Chains A and B, each alone.
Chain A
Amino acid sequence: MKKSTGLKFNQQCSPLLIGLVIVSLLAACRSKNYHFDVQPKTIKANDSVFVSWENNRNGKLLIYDTYFGDDIIYRNFKLVDPGHSKRVIPPVQVAILNKARIVFHGHLSNDSLIVSEQIDKVRFGNKLIINSIINTSGRDLDISHSGRSVKLAPDEESRIFKGTSVNGLWQFRSALSDKEKSNSELIKDDKLSVLISF
């Protein structure tokens, strides 16, 4: 039998080394399997995350922050299992962001570059709500999401998706220029992307 345990962490803790949290992890058998996860992987400041694990011995949960550039904080969760100290349990990172880029490779369809994809539910969770969106594709872009649509020029911003969840299906369409139509190798970059502020 395995036991599953969970903890919620609020984000009001110390910014550098949040703390060493010692949790008793009890189980009745000596299973070699383990589960350790933190959800969601992307949050805003003050959002909570849910930590879950299965284990059969006492463990320590180490939480610390690392920084990337000026505006990205990664909150690192590491389960240290003294019972299996030689085992590497993959640490889990949560990004604390005010904005995130959604980016996909486009495909050719008739005279357009198109995308129709679900974004990663595990990474973005279901709590991130859109405030505004900027076209970062470097070309005109039709964007559809949550039953709403907008056409944006490069670097143009819109609030048409305000209040909708980041999660779900995103559809992009960008018309090819005449030169691109005649030779698709002239399409320098096949990526279509938007920058979302929460």
Chain B
Amino acid sequence: MLLMFENRSFDHMLGHLSYQGLQPLADGLKNPLAQYENLYKGGAYLPFPIQTDLQLPFDLPHEFNEVKIQLARSSVNGKLNMDGFVEAYAMKTGQQPNPESEPMGFFTDKDVPVTSFLAREFCTCDRWFSSVPSSTQPNRSMAFCGEIPVHQTKLQGLSANGNIFKWMNDHKITWRVYHDGFSFFTLYPKLWRYVLGPKFRNYKHLYSDMLNNDVPQVILVEPSYHGIGPGQPNDNHAPLAIGWGEDFLRKTYQAAIVNPEVWKELLMVVYYDEHGGFYDHVPPPACKSTTTEEVPFNFDSLGVRIPGILISPWVRPGSVCNELFDHTSVLQFLAEKFTPGIPYSPDLEARANQSPKISSISVALSDQQNLADAPQPDSAPILVRSVLGDTTCTPPTEGIPLSFELSARDLMARFPEKVRVKYPELFRWRDELDLARKRTGQV
């Protein structure tokens, strides 16, 4: 079961494990926090524990050129200083950064109770990097296609060569996608036949399907993405508060453990597509990746570290895995499991075998079963203080929400009947959006 959230770094979500002494083995934040200072115009900006989970004023910078500033390669010794997160933030927002600047904030266990619980109970991966030092579209494409069609996120339809769905179909692996809102895969026109097909199923069925043992071999769980459709976005993309995502994670975990027969053979992977502009202190290692664009673009390192948690009776309880992972580590694992001896793709295998080697997540699994009785998370309600800003009536300008909206409108225009069955909420959302924009003159 694969659950990929959006845009948070390891230190931002799980740095508290070591800072609070909850999991000292995890390579998170430690006192003194001054060792992690970021520099901007002569001032030092330190990580700080976030006092309250609130919506942020802005999304944070995380496009390729911005990540380059964040990684801050030294002109003196060539090392990545990892101290340009505040500078990139100031440049993107045009705001004077506060001493406690948004990219430097990290959650304590109080505000990420479910993520923290799962990381402590199961296996925290503290060397899981996003695949490339860029944004959503390149990283998600690498995660689910094993190749990178673009090097940055724009308003664009994406090619889906090498996609995981075709790969699973080719190898007769059963699968299903449970989507809480509009699927990310609508950004890949070639995948629309899947998106509108029976294997894409509403998230509300996940729990009962698991309970009734109606379970395929591979499950992808999609949160509700920020910036598209009605309802509460829970993908954790900044500037969202994190509470809805925590609640979604808890519901998904509860579905994962509801049926002991399913649970005993289950591996749930919780990971993030990229860091979203939030600070992390570990420099990503060198790794060459090339896009499949007409003019290929070369990346020379992995992206910023992201939170990765492996949840299964087959991991050592309360363990930390230091092996080098990126999103293709999941594809490697699927190939090991379902097509032994045959890699997901030759290109992916060659990339993984660079130095340092990118491992399969199978190295974090134990050869014996533990935790037959799955631990229960705290059931206390998670309060979310959130504001929606002007976003409901302001047309999006950035790549992902703009691409989402245009894909949704395109799908509704081309396949109205199928979309009405699959995503009925989209029509009402579109009508309300158009009305709101008309009233505010922002059509």
Chain A residues within CB distance 8 Å of chain B: 32, 37, 41-42, 66, 68, 72, 74, 85-93, 95, 100-108, 113, 117-120, 122-124, 170, 184-188, 190-191, 193
Contact = CB atoms under 8 A, between A and B. Distances in A.
Contact of A66 (B51, B74, B390): B51
Contact of A88 (B74, B75, B387): B387
A90 B58 CA distance: 8
Please name the 8 residue pairs, one residue from A and one from B, whose CB atoms are nearest each other, closest first: A120-B41, A119-B42, A93-B98, A190-B76, A90-B57, A88-B57, A95-B99, A86-B387
A74 B390 contact: no
A91 B105 CA distance: 14
Given A103-B39, A119-B41, A191-B39, A89 B387 contact: no
Interface string B50-80: 0100011110000000000000101111110
Given A74-B100, A85-B387, A124 B43 contact: yes
Nearest to B392: A86
B389 A93 contact: no
Contacts of B81: 105, 190
Contacts of B295: none
Interface residues of B, number: 32
A13 B75 CA distance: 46
The B interface, classified by DSSP as helix, strand, loop or mixed, is loop
Contacts of A100: 43
A108 B77 CA distance: 10
A184 B76 contact: yes
Nearest to A95: B99
Nearest to B75: A107
Contacts, number: 100
A85 B388 CA distance: 9
B42 A102 contact: yes
Given A89-B57, A90-B95, A190-B74, A117 B100 contact: no
A90 to B, nearest CB: 4
Contacts of A104: 39, 42
Nearest to B388: A86
Interface string B178-190: 0000000000000
A187 B76 CA distance: 7
B299 interface: no
A95 B42 CA distance: 15
Nearest to A92: B98
Interface string B262-287: 00000000000000000000000000
B239 interface: yes
B127 to A, nearest CB: 22
Nearest to B99: A95
Contacts of B41: 117-120, 123
Interface in B2-54: 37, 39-44, 46, 48, 51
Contacts of B46: 68
Contacts of A170: 42
Given A85-B387, A87-B389, A123-B43, A108 B76 contact: yes
A74 B99 contact: yes
B298 interface: no
A127 to B, nearest CB: 16
Given A117-B42, A184-B76, A190-B77, 5 more contacts: A68-B46, A90-B95, A104-B42, A117-B41, A188-B77
Contacts of B239: 88
A78 to B, nearest CB: 11
A101 B389 contact: no
5 contacts: A42-B99, A105-B72, A107-B75, A123-B96, A190-B76
Contacts of A37: 96
Nearest to B442: A32
